C-alpha cells in the first residue's frame, strides 16, 4: 500500500466548471487561477485542460509554480500573483509579473533598462484586502509615475475582493468603486483604456458589475462555490474524489477504547476499520470523532482521534464491509456524498483548505467521469 490516499481528479468536471464561467461572463477573458498546484488538483494537467477549453491566462502564486508549467510545455500567458521581481526569469519564461509597490516597479525598471528590454506588468491596487498592492489613496499618482518608467509597460490593473462571498455586498461595492475611480483616472491620464480585472469566483457568481475586462476564478473551477449563504444558480461539479481502502477490520467488544486519548469507547460490540491515511496525508486531526467516510454507499463515522498515518472508522452498521473495500473520504459513492464544504464546516475552515490539504498529499489519477 502506498502512502496516503488516491485523489481522483475529474478533468471533465473542471471543463464543465470552466464552461459555466464562460456562460456567466460571456466575452470577458478568463484568467484561470491554478496556484497551489491547482488547489490540489495538479497544475499541469488542469492547466492543459483549461487552455484546451479556452482559458486566456493562467495565474499562479510564485515563480516555481510558473516554471513547472513552462517546463511541462505550457505556452499560455502566466501571471505571477505574489512573487518578488525576478527579471531574468520573466524574460526567459515569458511571465507577466504583478507589481505591488512603487519600489518594486522602480527596481524592475532599473533592471529592464540595463538589459534594454520592455516588460509588460499588471499593477495591483489594494482597494481593501489589506494584503499587497498600491495604497488606493495615492494609487493614481503612483501609477502615473510607474507608467513613465523606462522598460515597463502597464498592461493591466487588478485588485482583489476581501468579502465578495458575503450576502452583505457593501464592502465589495466600496472596493469596486475605489478601483473604478482609479482605473478611470489612469485611463484619462494615459489616454487609453486600461485593461482591468478584480473578480474572483464569488464575484463571477454574484457580482456582475465587477466582471470588467477579465475575471480570475479559482475555487469554482474545481466545483465549489465560495458563496455559502445562497444556493448557486449554476451547477458546479466537484472535481476531486479522495479514495482509500480498508487496511484492517476488527470485531471488538463493547467498552473498547479506540485511538489516542481514548476519546471513543465502543458502546456495543463493534466493527472498527483502520484506514491507511491520517493527518500527515492532509486528513485533519479536527476530523477526530467528527466526520464521516463512505463505504458501500453508506456513511461510517470516524472513531477516535485521527492519527498521523491511520484513521479508525466505525463500520458496525455496514455488515457487508470488508478489508480492502473502497472508502471515499471526499466525494460521492452510490447516493451519498461527502463534500469539501461539509468537511470544512466540521473542521472550522473553508473548502480551499480541504482541497489543498488532501489533494496535495495524495497520489493523483485523472479521469473523464462526468
Q: Which active-site residues does the annotation give?
A: 35, 260
Query: Rule CB under 6 A: is residue 329 a binding residue for ligand PLP?
Result: no
CA atoms within 13 A on the CB side of 39: 25
Query: Rule CB under 6 A: is residue 223 a binding residue for ligand PLP?
Result: no
**Which span (146-154, 175-183, 194-202, 353-361) binds ligand PLP, by CB under 6 A?**
194-202
Residue pair 63/92 in contact by the 8 Å Cβ criterion? no
Residue 244 or 351 having the CB closest to ligand PLP: 351
Query: Rule CB under 6 A: is residue 216 a binding residue for ligand PLP?
Result: yes
**Which span (135-143, 210-218, 276-284, 310-318) binds ligand PLP, by CB under 6 A?**
210-218
Contact positions with ligand PLP (CB under 6 A) in 87-146: none
Q: How far is 368 from 13, CA to CA, in rounded Å?
A: 8
Q: Binding residue for ligand PLP (CB under 6 A) from 10, 175, 196, 201?
A: 201
Three-state DSSP class for residue 213:
coil
Residue 86 or 216 having the CB closest to ligand PLP: 216
Q: How far is the CB of 92 from ligand PLP (least distance, A)?
A: 24
Query: Rule CB under 6 A: is residue 55 a binding residue for ligand PLP?
Result: no
Q: Extract the C-alpha cell encoding 155.
A: 498592461
Tell me which residue of 220, 223, 195, 221 sits closest to 206, measured CA to CA: 220
Contact positions with ligand PLP (CB under 6 A) in 158-187: 160
Q: How many residues does the chain have?
A: 370
Three-state SS string over 222-281 comes to: HCCCCCCCCCCCCCCCCCEEEEEECCEEEEECCCCEECHHHCEECCCCEEEEEECCCHHH
Q: How far is the CB of 221 from ligand PLP (least distance, A)?
A: 8
Residue 225 or 316 having the CB closest to ligand PLP: 225
**Which span (46-54, 179-187, 215-223, 259-267) binds ligand PLP, by CB under 6 A?**
215-223
Query: Rule CB under 6 A: is residue 81 a binding residue for ligand PLP?
Result: yes
The alpha carbons of the chain give a radius of gyration, in whole angstroms, of 24
Tell me the helix, strand and coil percentages in the chain, rounded to 5.
35, 25, 40
Q: How far is 116 from 298, CA to CA, in rounded Å?
A: 64
Query: Rule CB under 6 A: is residue 238 a binding residue for ligand PLP?
Result: no
Q: Pattern of binders to ligand PLP over 15-44, x per CB under 6 A?
A: ------------------x-----------
Q: CA 54 from chain center: how many Å? A: 19
By the criterion CB under 6 A, which residues form the site for ligand PLP? 33, 81, 160, 200-202, 216-219, 226
Amino acid at each position: 500500500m502506498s502512502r496516503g490516499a488516491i485523489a481522483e481528479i475529474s478533468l471533465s468536471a473542471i471543463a464543465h466548471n470552466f464552461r459555466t464561467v464562460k456562460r456567466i461572463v460571456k466575452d470577458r477573458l478568463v484568467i484561470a487561477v491554478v496556484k497551489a498546484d491547482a488547489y490540489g488538483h495538479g497544475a499541469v494537467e488542469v492547466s492543459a485542460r483549461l487552455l484546451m477549453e479556452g482559458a486566456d491566462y493562467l495565474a499562479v502564486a510564485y515563480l516555481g509554480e510558473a516554471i513547472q508549467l513552462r517546463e511541462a510545455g505550457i505556452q499560455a500567458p502566466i501571471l505571477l500573483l505574489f512573487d518578488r521581481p525576478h527579471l531574468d526569469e520573466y524574460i526567459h519564461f515569458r511571465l507577466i509579473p504583478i507589481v505591488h509597490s512603487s519600489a518594486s516597479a522602480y527596481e524592475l525598471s532599473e533592471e529592464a533598462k540595463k538589459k534594454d528590454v520592455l516588460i509588460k506588468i499588471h499593477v495591483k491596487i489594494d482597494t481593501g484586502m489589506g494584503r499587497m498592492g498600491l495604497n488606493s489613496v495615492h494609487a493614481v499618482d503612483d501609477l502615473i509615475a510607474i507608467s513613465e518608467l523606462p522598460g515597463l509597460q502597464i498592461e493591466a490593473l487588478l485588485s482583489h475582493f476581501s468579502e465578495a462571498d458575503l450576502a452583505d455586498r457593501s464592502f465589495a461595492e466600496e472596493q469596486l468603486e475605489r478601483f473604478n475611480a482609479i482605473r478611470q483616472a489612469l485611463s484619462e491620464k494615459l489616454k487609453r483604456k486600461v485593461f482591468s480585472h478584480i473578480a474572483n469566483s464569488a464575484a463571477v457568481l454574484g457580482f456582475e458589475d465587477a466582471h470588467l475586462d477579465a475575471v480570475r476564478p479559482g475555487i469554482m473551477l474545481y466545483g465549489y462555490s465560495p458563496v455559502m449563504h445562497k444556493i448557486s444558480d449554476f451547477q458546479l461539479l466537484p472535481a476531486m474524489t479522495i479514495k482509500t481502502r480498508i487496511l484492517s477490520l476488527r470485531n471488538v467488544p463493547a467498552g473498547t477504547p479506540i485511538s489516542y486519548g481514548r476519546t471513543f469507547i465502543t458502546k456495543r460490540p463493534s466493527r472498527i476499520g483502520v484506514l491507511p491515511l491520517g493527518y500527515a496525508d492532509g486528513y485533519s486531526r479536527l476530523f477526530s470523532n467528527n466526520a464521516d467516510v463512505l463505504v458501500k454507499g453508506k456513511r461510517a463515522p470516524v472513531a477516535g482521534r485521527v492519527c498521523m498515518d491511520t484513521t479508525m472508522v466505525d463500520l458496525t452498521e455496514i455488515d457487508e464491509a470488508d478489508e480492502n473495500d473502497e472508502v471515499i473520504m471526499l466525494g460521492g459513492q452510490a447516493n451519498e456524498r461527502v463534500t469539501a464544504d461539509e468537511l470544512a464546516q466540521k473542521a472550522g475552515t473553508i473548502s480551499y483548505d480541504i482541497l489543498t490539504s488532501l489533494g496535495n498529499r495524495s497520489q493523483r489519477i485523472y479521469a473523464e467521469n462526468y
